[in-house]
Amino acid sequence: MLSIMPRILVFQHVAAEPLGTLDPLIRRRGHRIRFVNFERHPDAEPNIDRYRGLVVLGGPMNVEDQEQRPHLRTELRVIEQALEQGKPVLGICLGAQLLAHVLGAPVRKHDRTEIGWYGLELTEAGLADKVIQPLGATTQVFQWHARSYALPDGAVQLARTSTCEQQAFRYGELAYGVQFHPEANQPLIERWLGNPDYASELAASGLTQDDASIRALSASLALPMQSQAEAMFENFLDLIGRPQRRFTLPSREWV
C-alpha cells in the first residue's frame, strides 16, 4: 500500500519567517513539503510542475527589490506559472504582495505601518468565502508590514483593517493573498520581537504598540488567532487535496 501525498512547494525568504503554525498542520495531513529558502539559495530555480500547490511566505524585502534580489523575479515567474496551471496559491504578507504584483496590481509603501495586533473585518465576500470564513466577521490578527497592495483587477476583497483597506483577497477560486500573519503564534512573535532588525523597525515606527504591549496582547490573542487560522489553513489545503492511499497487489509469478 503506497501513500499518494500531494506535494507542496514553499518559498521562504528568511529564517525568521517560517511556516509557523501551518507547518505541523501540513505534516499532520500527510503532505510533503519542499522548501526553497532563497536566503540560503538565492539562485534556486524551482519548478512548479511537480507540485500540487504553492505557499509564498513573508520577508523583509519588497517587490521593488528585484535588482538587488533577483530571486524575486524567479518567484514571480513561478507564481504566474502556478496560476496558469490552475494550482492553489497562498501568499502571506510579502507573498500576498508578490501575488498581487503578478496580477498587475501596484504595491507601494503604506501610509501607516502596521506592527502588532489589529482588528480584522471580513467583507461580505469574505464571510461567504470557503477558505477565509473561519476567521469570523471580526477578529484580532497579527501584522508586520510597511507596504500594501492594491486590489488586483478581477480579484475579490475578503478583509480589511481600519488602517489598511486591503488585507485579504481571492483571485479565481484557488489563489489567496493575506497581508496579515495568520501563521504566527506566540513563540514566533517573540522571535520577531527579539530579532535586532525587526526590533529596530518596530522602534522606528512610532506606533503605540511597543514590544511590551505586543507581548501582553499576544498572551491573550495568539491562541484564539491560531485556532481560527488553522481552520482557514485546513480549508486552503483542501483545495490542494488530502493524501490518499493507493493499494497495490503483491508481486506474483504466474505459471
In tens, the pLDDT along 187-207 reads 999 999 999 999 999 999 999
pLDDT of residue 241: 87
Query: Can you tell me the mean pLDDT for 82-93?
Result: 97
Which residue segments constitute the domains of the chain, with CATH numbers given?
2-246 (3.40.50.880)
Catalytic annotation, pick one of 17, 71, 93, 145? 93
Asked if the model's pLDDT at residue 214 lies above 70, the reply is yes
- Look-up: residue for cell 501563521? 183
Whether 31 is catalytic:
no
* Average pLDDT of span 205-212: 94
Q: Which candidate, 190, 166, 169, 65, places its Cα nearest to that of 114? A: 166
Q: State the pLDDT at residue 244.
A: 53
Q: What are phi and psi of 226, to 5 degrees?
A: -60, -40
Residue 4's pLDDT is: 53
Q: Using alpha carbons only, what angle is made at residue 163 by residues 223 and 220, rounded to the nearest 5 degrees?
A: 15
Question: Which pLDDT tens digit goes with each residue over 118-164?
Answer: 999 999 999 999 999 999 999 999 999 999 999 999 999 999 999 99
Q: How much is the mean pLDDT over the chain?
A: 92
Taking residues 73-100, report their average pLDDT.
97
164 tagged catalytic: no
Catalytic residue from among 17, 75, 114, 183: 183
Which segment of 34-38, 161-165, 239-243, 248-252 scores lowest on mean pLDDT?
248-252
Specify whether the CB–CB gap between 151 and 200 falls below 8 A: no
pLDDT for 27 beyond 60: yes
How confident is the model at residue 6, as a pLDDT? 81
